[in-house]
Structure 1
């Protein structure tokens, strides 16, 4: 609607949308909406609450897909849409986003440390790892963007691998409680 109001043309053409003029307030509100939507999926603290439950209830293949691919789509969305479409608002919002990333790193690590269910432990490490990605995305440098992509690939492979191992342990032991896994 913003592009139509400015130009009189309905379009989803990315290049046209990048050139859409908009006021600072409109840009900030749209950027905030995009950020919240992607932050839920990423997951960013405090919008992460669904992730440990989703992983602990999902079958192994679902957890592999969720951790290996789906969480990264939100980070890609921030890089591809939120930052380029709303550059000034994203720059202004960057300190808040990076602060949320730092909180996510420590909160995810702390919560992972407190878990006894191995799938919930891995889920909380994902919250922590995606905090690093969030910080890199909002740092604003080309090197940081490259680091975010490398971190997403590394996390996707390692988390998927951990969930596969977790699934194999569950098949063998019929429990995900790490207190019952002594002597492996």
Structure 2
């Protein structure tokens, strides 16, 4: 063994074999055992310490949660269905705008046969905006959806007729 190990062994043998507590612990241990065996004697969670105000607050909280539990699905379902119905209208509008833009880009080099076709296209855009405004209030109205679809078809037909009339096609 090394010198360090010898010194460590001497110091360890010089230590007392028992460690004495600095204070008497039996009273605290006894109280802990009796309170664990008899939970009703524990004053911290006794039902008698809950005041009537606390009981009223607990009951009011339970009632509020219950009302919200039953009422919330109906409120959110109405908003969801309205937004889901209008999502179809938004998708139709985006698709229509993309189609119009691609048609206009493809006919950019082709001269138009009339001069007022852009005014007619603007009138059809205004009609589509009016129908979309009505659809915001009633997104599931199939007649309005059909009208919007018809206006969109008229826009495409107008662009095609002005730039590539049937008599020029073979």
TM-score, normalising length: structure 2 = 0.33
TM-score, normalising length: structure 1 = 0.31
Whose radius of gyration is greater, 1 or 2? 2
